[in-house]
Amino acid sequence: MSNLSLASHKRILTRYTNQLQKVLTRFKDAQLEEISVQNLQDEITPTVIQTSLQQLEEAVAALENMTTKIQHALDELATMFEKSHPTSPNIEEEFAQCSTTAEEAIGNTFEYLVLLHARIHGFKAHAELLNTSHKHSTTNSSKNESTVTAVVKNLELPTNPIPTFNGDIWDWDNFWELFNLNVHSQNLSELQKFNYLLNSLKGETLQSMKKFQLTRQNYLKAIEFLTNKYGNPEELIRQLLRKMDKISLHSSSIHEQRRLLEDIEAIIGQLVQKGENVDNQSMYQKVLSKFPVGIQRKVIHKKITSPDEPFTMQQLLKYFEVVITSEEQVCRQTSATPPRDTVSFDNKGKHWKPPTTRLLCMYCKGDHKPFYCSKYETPQRRYLQNNKLCNICASPSHSTIQCNGSLCRKCQKRHHTACCLFPTPNEKTFVPSTKNANAKNEANASKHKEKELKKPTSTSKINHVGQETPAKDKSFTKSSTKLQSTFLPTGELTIMNPTTKQLEKVSVLLDTGAELSFIDENLAQKLGLPKIEEIKLRLNTFGSCNVQERVSRKVPLQVIYVQDN
């Protein structure tokens, strides 16, 4: 029985909601909200006012009646839900599914009713004004005008915004102009004005008013106190000049330059209004110095090319406006094709030059290229990260910190085995010919390894980046076997850091049997070396009978050789 009653209440609510939506749509199509005193100003008559009021009030009555019925149906439906499902844990969700459409219709109707009530209030106020004018048409004209003015002001006062003031001298003039118009000059009692004044004050200013009792006689004293304290033009000028000294560009963007120009124009306007002389060389130079040199040059060029125009502060600001507007147009035209990083070589030494701009990593947003990202080393890990999956078991139901799954089967660390970079025991990994992986193999390495470095010359080398993590630096590298020990020579090499353009010392392993030179992955990433290409290498290491194939990146590195005289 309860289920049938619940279904009946749902149907009633749905029917009322559909009817309300149809009526609301019909009124909107008839554009009742467009019926207003302003739109009928040229043909406003008592008959037109009466007809318009009748249409608006009928629409309001119909909408309010249907809204009341829907609200009553919602209350009954909620009661039925509580009776039929007293222990259901999802009773609120089930009720929300039934009531969402009805509540949305009530909300739309409420907004429309507010607009119709405003139209009705406007017609009634206009009708009252016409009746007042007609009633006093036979009396003295001056008395009639003052009475109508007082009525109009009393009618408009509640709709006017009353400003607030928190004690900032910068805002005092604006506050007083609005407060004087809306409250101080109105036909109100002194006590009412004082009450409005106290409600408009905030913070320290409101605290200072506590010494005045809320009486009719103290209102003018409070106004005099505020005017003397915050209406001092000399103090405002000092604050304006201090603000002019402090403002500056936060960046060199054209948007920031536009913001700075608007702030300067506001300060200059206030200074001129307070009688301060801004047409002097000191102020010109101060305004010019706020902008980049390029903008200054263009503004000064406009001044030089227009000698017939008298140079004033307003003319200077006009030049800034023209120049910055031109720069904004250039930025809009060129922003669609931002410059890309390019690798260039000079014509003389064919030396690689680093790119002028840096791109952020597309994976972790770091200051490196995506190819050198060490946070998400593999596509598998990037997939887990982008899909918000657990890095250990790939489950979407919990985070990596909360996972109790098994560790990596290769390295026993907390990540999925598919994301592991550690080779399995059956895999043969490529080991660069130096533990530092910075080795540069040259045929004449032995010729330079013990000479005193005196005369630097610049060359450009192509190196291959190994995939192993470098070991700690040592003066020599020792490879142990069961029968004997082998010692390999090491040395230092001077390279050019392409980012900082500074010379740096790196350790190298001298292997005269290698055909290629290799550089460590971490060092290549630290130097920001770009990838030229990827090549497949065939490697034959010491003591191995098998030839291994590895894919390695090819990168450029500028090496400085120092020779004897």
Question: pTM (2 decimals)?
Answer: 0.33
Range with the poorest average pLDDT among 214-223, 441-450, 455-464 = 441-450
Confidence band of 292 (pLDDT split at 50, 70, 90): very high
End-to-end CA distance of the chain: 110
- pLDDT (0 to 100) of residue 108: 84
Confidence band of 321 (pLDDT split at 50, 70, 90): very high
H runs (alpha helix) in 170-276: 172-179, 190-200, 203-208, 218-230, 233-246, 254-273
Does the structure show a pLDDT above 70 at 362?
Answer: no
How far does CA 85 lie from the centroid of its chain? Answer: 47
d(CA 43, CA 180): 35
Tokens representing 1 are 């029985």
A 10 A CB-CB count for 121 gives 12
Tokens representing 315 are 């003319």
Q: Which of 492, 439, 503 is nearest to 466 (CA)?
A: 439
Does the structure show a pLDDT above 50 at 348?
Answer: no
- pLDDT (0 to 100) of residue 325: 92
Confidence band of 372 (pLDDT split at 50, 70, 90): low
- pLDDT (0 to 100) of residue 453: 41
Strands 548-563 and 344-345: unpaired
Range with the poorest average pLDDT among 14-28, 134-148, 254-268, 480-494 = 134-148
For tokens 């554009």, the residue is 31
Domains of the chain: residue spans and CATH: 2-135 (1.20.58), 164-231 (no CATH), 252-333 (no CATH), 380-420 (no CATH), 445-563 (no CATH)
- pLDDT (0 to 100) of residue 480: 44
Question: What's the mean pLDDT in 22-38?
Answer: 78
pLDDT in tens, 460-479: 445 555 544 444 444 444 44
Does the structure show a pLDDT above 80 at 272?
Answer: yes
DSSP string, 498-543: TTT--EEEEEEE--TT-SS-EE-HHHHHHHTPPP-EEEEEEE--TT
* Residue type at position 482: K
Q: Is the dihedral of CA 41, 45, 50, 54 positive or negative?
A: negative
Give me the residues paired with residue 539 across strands.
548
Confidence band of 87 (pLDDT split at 50, 70, 90): low
Question: What's the mean pLDDT in 386-403?
Answer: 77
